[in-house]
Amino acid sequence: MDNGVENYRRFREGDRNALVEIIRDYRDGMILFANSIVKDMGLAEEIVQEVFIKLVVKKPKYSGKSSFKTWLYSICRYTAIDFLKSIKKRKELDMDAVYSLSDETDLEREYIKEEQRITIHNAMKNINNDYCQVLYLTFFEGFDNSGAATIMKKTNRQIENLIYRAKKALRSELEKEGFVYEKL
Amino acid sequence: MKNYDDFAEEVFREADRRLALKRKRAAVIRQYTLAFASMFAIILTGIFVIKNETVREALEKKFNAQNIITDESSVTAPPTNTTVPDHGSYEPEITTEVFTSPPDGIRNTTAKPAASTTAAKTTTTAKTTASHSPVSTTDANTSYISVTSTRTTARNYVSSTKTSTVTVSKTTHTTATATRSTKTTATTSRIYVTSTTGTRTTVTTQNPLTTTSGGTFTTTIHDGTYLTSTTFSPSASTSWATKTTTTITTTSTKTTSLVTYTVSSTTTSVPQTTAVTQPLYPDIQLPAETADPSGNTTVPVNYRCIGELSADLQLGSKAGETTIYSGGVQYVCDVYSLAGSSLLDYAVIYIREKQEWLIYMSFIT
């Protein structure tokens, strides 16, 4: 992941292939993350695409205060929230949600790979949105509490409480489906 | 799910589209901004110039606008219902200038030749003709003498033909004498037309017919109804300048015929240097209004002639010139008999132009 900073520097200097590499490294995770927010795989892909379009058009400066991935996921979250606001205004959702289910399954299998983790990811769809985001960031993307706090614009304490409640809600949800995960 | 390359390609395509749109929008905004900025600058400059007292003073000094009213309180409203005072009517001053002599450049058309002008070379030819001019003379007491005069200067200064007809009422009219004088000759040339009773008419030139002003001089005597032939002696081509008498012989079937004779004479001479503008003979007709009331040959016999003179002629009688008529008016001229001749008692009508007598006619009674 350290290549992200270097690639983004190269991209700002005019090398578009560097952005292609960034897309290869971060696109799938960002889509799943956006999906945890908008609960729509097609819209999540559109959100991630919009994130990269913003990078190309505006070429925002990366300050280095956080990791590149954290900075990139923060942009993705803001973009997803903006999409949700615009969708609420339109009060309609894209009918592509039907096909997005299969896409989501494929992406989960390709990106998450482990069956157990896939089960957990599926169970996350039924819990609170914030729980879903913080669990995805910490459990699937490997962010620590500080990174998740940065992305979700919350304090570490808030993230800790949020993670605690999210795990509790996820355990309850898994028990409904007959799964018992002691690690949770 | 799109693969990475398609995803990246779509990202770049959309990004390029937005960048192009952004650049276009920026260009438009830049143009509008520039236009508004220019307009705003002009407005600000105008306001600044108007407000700036220093500039205003400079403008006043430059254009000498000393009378700019800055204190509006001192401005009074213009008067209303202003009436224009009546200055009365103005009569233009008319000055009349009387010219005592023709202005420069205008030829004096009334200039006369010298009184005693002598031609440098005079060639005079006379042509005398007599022709019948039948007149229905139902009135036995009426005869006609028609005098036609033509004079033409060589340089065509004047070309005029004047005819004078004198009607003489005389039952025993046997002789008519026409005496003529040219305007420009020093000596009066007279042609006496003597009609003898019956068959003979003699035309006599009392003096050699001379003219110093050149031109053609034609005298015509018409004979009467009863004349059948006319001969001339001398011939028509004989110069009258050297002849004193020209005899015209006519043959008449009646001894008491009332005849009119035509005597034509042609006079040519070299032109004078002085132009003659007046006609040689006036246009005068002297029809007899009334015949001699007595109807006899008693002397004196009064005749009354009525005619009209041309504008520049006057008519008078030789006897004391007691009757002078201005030209252009109808005249009534009493013809008096003149005593002194046992053979020829005649009255003479004088026609004159201004102070110079032009012609007179004698009526043999």
Average pLDDT over residues A17-46: 89
The pLDDT of residue A79: 92
Confidence of residue B124 (pLDDT cuts 50, 70, 90): very low
Least confident of B25-34, B81-90, B257-266: B257-266
Decide: B359 and B281 in contact? Cβ < 8 Å.
yes
Q: Which residue has the higher pLDDT, B259 or B351?
A: B351
Mean pLDDT of B26-49: 89
In this prediction, what percent of chain B has a pLDDT beyond 70? Answer: 15
Over residues B259-264, the mean pLDDT reads: 38
Question: Are the beta carbons of B7 and A27 separated by less than 8 Å?
Answer: yes
- Please list the residue range(s) of chain A that carry CATH number 1.10.10.10: 114-184
pLDDT at A158 over 80: yes
Per-residue model confidence (pLDDT) at position B323: 43
The residue-averaged pLDDT of A124-143 equals 84
**Interface contact flag, B18 A103, Cβ < 8 Å:** no
CB hemisphere CA count around A28 (13 angstroms): 20
Q: What is the mean pLDDT of residues A85-109?
A: 61
The pTM of this model reads: 0.38
Q: Which helix (H) or strand (E) holds B222?
A: strand B221-223
* Residue A67 or residue B342, greater confidence: A67
User: pLDDT (tens digit, 9 = 90+) per residue, A5-21?
Assistant: 999 999 999 888 899 99
| Dist CA A72 CA A26 (whole Å) | 9
A–B interface: beta-carbon pairs under 8 A: 37
pLDDT for position A48 = 93
| Inter-chain CB proximity A20 and B8 less than 8 Å | yes
How confident is the model at residue B30, as a pLDDT? 92
Does position A90 have pLDDT exceeding 80, yes or no?
no
Measured CB to CB, residues of chain A less than 8 Å from chain B are 16, 19-20, 23-24, 27, 45, 49, 52-53, 56-57, 103, 106-107
Q: Is B53 helix (H, G, I), strand (E, B) or coil?
A: helix
> How far is B309 from B328, CA to CA, in rounded Å?
5
In this prediction, residue B97 carries a pLDDT of 63
Mean pLDDT of B135-139: 38
Helix/strand/coil (H/E/C) assignment for every residue in B85-126: CCCCCCCCCCCCCCCCCCCCCCCCCCCCCCCCCCCCCCCCCC
- Mean pLDDT within B131-138: 37
In CATH, the number for domain A1-111 is: 1.10.1740.10
Contacts of B3 in chain A (CB under 8 A): none
Return the pLDDT at A23. 92
When mean pLDDT is compared over A65-79, A113-127, B313-327, the highest value belongs to A65-79
From chain A, the residues in CB contact with B11 under 8 A are 19, 23, 49, 52-53, 56
Higher pLDDT, B294 or A8: A8
Average pLDDT, integer, range B211-231? 36
> Bigger pLDDT: A73 or B69?
A73
d(CA A79, CA A61): 17
- The bridge status of strand B303-308 relative to strand B288-290 is antiparallel
Q: Does position B138 have pLDDT exceeding 70, yes or no?
A: no
In DSSP terms, B353 is beta-bridged to B356
For chain B, how far is it from start to end, CA to CA, in angstroms? 162
- Residue A142 — pLDDT band, cuts 50, 70, 90? confident
Q: Which of B7, B12, B25 to mutate to test the interface with A (most CBs of A within 10 A)?
A: B7
Identify which has the larger pLDDT, B85 or B359: B85
Check: CB of residue B284 under 8 Å from CB of residue B307.
Answer: yes
Portions of chain A given CATH number 1.10.1740.10: 1-111
Which of the four pLDDT bands, split at 50, 70 and 90, describes residue B118? very low
Contacts of A53 in chain B (CB under 8 A): 11, 14-15, 18
In this structure, what token pair is assigned to residue A180?
């018992």
Which of B1, B3, B22 should one mutate to test binding to chain A, selecting the residue with the greatest count of A CBs within 10 A?
B1
CATH pick for A114-184 out of 3.90.1300.10, 1.10.10.10, 3.30.70.260, 1.10.3720.10 = 1.10.10.10
Q: How high does pLDDT run on average in chain B?
A: 49
The reply to whether residue A20 touches residue B1, judged by beta carbons under 8 angstroms, is no
- pLDDT confidence of B128, banded at 50, 70, 90? very low
How large is the average pLDDT for residues A155-167? 88
| CB within 8 Å: A49 and B15 | no
Neighbour order of strands in the sheet with B314-317? B314-317, B346-353, B356-364
Residues of A in contact with B18 (CB under 8 A): 53, 57
Q: CA nearest B16 in A: which residue?
A: A57
* pLDDT tier at A47, thresholds 50, 70, 90: very high
Q: What is the mean pLDDT of residues B3-7?
A: 85
Q: Which residue of B has its CA nearest to A49?
A: B11
Give CA torsion, residues A93, A148, A107, A54, to 10 deg.
60
CB B164 within 8 A of CB B149: yes
Kindly state the average pLDDT of the residues B153-181: 35
Does B22 sit within 8 Å of A45, measured CB to CB?
no
Instruction: Tell me which of A92-101, B63-72, B97-106, B314-323 is least confident.
Output: B314-323
Question: Residue B14 and residue A45: Cβ atoms within 8 Å?
Answer: no
**Is B40's Cβ below 8 Å from some Cβ in A?**
no
Give the span between the Cα atoms of B315 and B225, in whole angstroms.
31
Cβ B284 vs Cβ B312: under 8 Å? no
The shortest C-alpha distance from B37 to chain A (Å) reads 28
Q: What does the pLDDT average to over A73-84?
A: 90
Question: What is the model's pLDDT at position B19?
Answer: 92
> With an 8 Å Cβ cutoff, are A23 and B4 in contact?
yes
Task: Please say if the pLDDT value at position B125 is more than 50.
Answer: no
pLDDT tens figures, B75-90: 666 666 666 666 666 6
Q: Which of B1-10, B172-181, B239-248 has the lowest mean pLDDT?
A: B172-181
pLDDT score of B96 more than 60: yes
Selecting from B2, B5, B12 the residue whose C-beta is nearest the C-beta of A56 gives: B12
Q: Min CA distance, A165 vs chain B (Å)? A: 33
Helices (H), chain B: 4-51, 53-62
